[in-house]
Amino acid sequence: MESTLAHEIELYPYETFKVLLDHEVHRSRRYGSPLTLIHLAVETEDGGAPAQHGAEIFAINILNLQVRETDIPCKKDNEFLVLLPSTDHKGGRIVCERLENYFHFETQVYEKLPFKMKVYIGMATLPGDRSISSQKLMDNALLALRHARENRLTATVIFSEIKP
């Protein structure tokens, strides 16, 4: 089902995403261009597996409509990664706020199955010194997502703004 779902929605497979991430990090270092990574998760409060599947399809549709052609979206397990080339901290925040607006509805309906959905978003940006690796960028975005999820925050958590 995962491969069929990935094919239907035109998201990058995770292995391809990792290759493109490495390429974009190297390109960002070389040319000094900004790079932002968004890590998001959707969870349903009720409805079981069909509701979770509906929430993921809803998320995919939003991503397909809201990200640029140059952005690189991917589904990894039940979470999503979106790489935003040539996007700095400020631009990444704007994208995340736009996504928040689309995701924060009281109830979504998918195939006549109503469910309540929570979306948690973490964001990390390549720092100015360009010393970070692609794996560290992914780790930072994941830490921001975990912070949002653990604290049940519906607003985007930006890694650089997390207080230790």
- The stretch 99-108 carries a mean pLDDT of 69
Q: Give the distance from CA 64 to its chain's centroid.
A: 12
Residue type at 101?
N
pLDDT of residue 3: 45
d(CA 164, CA 81): 24
- CATH number where 144 lies: 3.30.70.270
| Both tokens assigned to 56 | 């993921």
**Phi and psi, residue 125, nearest 5°:** -125, 145
Length of the chain, in residues? 164
In the predicted model, is pLDDT for residue 8 greater than 50?
Answer: no
Give residue 114's pLDDT band: very low, low, confident or very high (50, 70, 90). low
- The stretch 103-117 carries a mean pLDDT of 59
pLDDT of residue 120: 92
Residue type at 32?
G
| Both tokens assigned to 115 | 């469910």
The parent domain of residue 61 ranges over: 2-161
Q: State the DSSP string of 99-161.
A: HHHHH--S-EEETTEEE-EEEEEEEEE--TT----HHHHHHHHHHHHHHHHHTT--SPEEGGG
Beta-carbon contacts of 70 under 8 Å, excluding residues fewer than 6 positions away, are: 85, 86
- Cβ pair 144, 124 in contact under 8 A: yes
d(CA 21, CA 143): 18
- Cβ pair 126, 35 in contact under 8 A: yes
Q: What is the pLDDT of residues 33-76, one digit of tens each?
A: 899 999 999 887 776 777 777 778 778 878 887 788 888 999 99
- Cβ pair 21, 137 in contact under 8 A: yes
Based on the structure, what is the number of domains in the chain? 1
- The stretch 103-121 carries a mean pLDDT of 65
Whole-model pTM: value is 0.85
Q: Is beta strand 113-115 parallel, antiparallel or unpaired with respect to 117-125? A: unpaired
In the predicted model, is pLDDT for residue 106 greater than 50?
Answer: no
